[in-house]
Amino acid sequence: MSEFEIISKETGPIKTNCYLLYDKERKEAALIDVGGEIKELLDIIEQEDLVVKYIFCTHLHFDHVLEVGEIREVFPNAKLVYHKAEEKTLRSLGPFARMFGFKPGTLGECDIYAKDGEKFKIGYIEIKTILSPGHTKGSLCYYFKGHLFSGDVLFKNGIGRTDLPGGKYEILLNSIKNLYNLPDETQVYPGHGPTTTIGEEKVGNPFISVEDF
């Protein structure tokens, strides 16, 4: 595997983490959860002469997709990826999203409805989807060796909320138990807040630790 870079930018009204992942040799990139203005990331894409292949969505809560429509205009060849179950999630939160000026239709058509275990190549990086319902029915985590983009499923010392449409606490805990099977040293890049590791959360997460298994 060639060298890669992961750069985060806090975006939007609820401080969502947007991530830029790219292969430094092959110059291919992906954006994950474009929840607001990302000028700094766009500058890096231009400076590094990157080709954005994918726009990955962990789920379709509006704070994670607020600027997807605009970014698709900038990168018209980039494929929009999410789980099909998330279209119901987006519709169910329409009234709340409109409070922030977001209209669900601005996303445009999905290019790839990703399923559990589907693989995507970004240069030499192979990313695998992990279906992780509970926060929403179609929440996806994106994993490549040693690195996990967890969306709103798992946070540092926290877990996703389950009181919104499609959320269910017991299902979320089962999804996190599945993530805990990843190597302890796996770096976790959540949808909000600081990074953590699987090992740290297995021991110290107050909502679910290995002692709960």
CATH number at residue 180: 3.60.15.10
Mean pLDDT of 78-86: 97
Whether 1 has a pLDDT exceeding 60, the answer reads no
Using alpha carbons, select from 148, 153, 190, 146 the residue that is nearest to residue 171: 153
**Total tally of structural domains belonging to the chain:** 1
Statement: residue 211 has pLDDT above 90: no
63-72, 128-137, 177-186: least confident range = 63-72
69/136 Cα distance (integer angstroms): 21
pTM: 0.94
Task: Compute the average pLDDT of residues 155-171.
Answer: 94
Q: What is the pLDDT of residues 33-54, one digit of tens each?
A: 999 999 999 999 999 999 999 9
Q: Which residue has the higher pLDDT, 23 or 106?
A: 23
Q: What percent of the chain has pLDDT over 70?
A: 92
Using the structure block, give the residue that is written with the tokens 């809560």.
61
Domain hosting residue 144, numbered range: 4-212
- Residue 191: the pLDDT is 98
**Confidence class of residue 17 from pLDDT cuts 50, 70 and 90?**
very high
CA separation for the pair 111, 30 (Å, rounded): 14
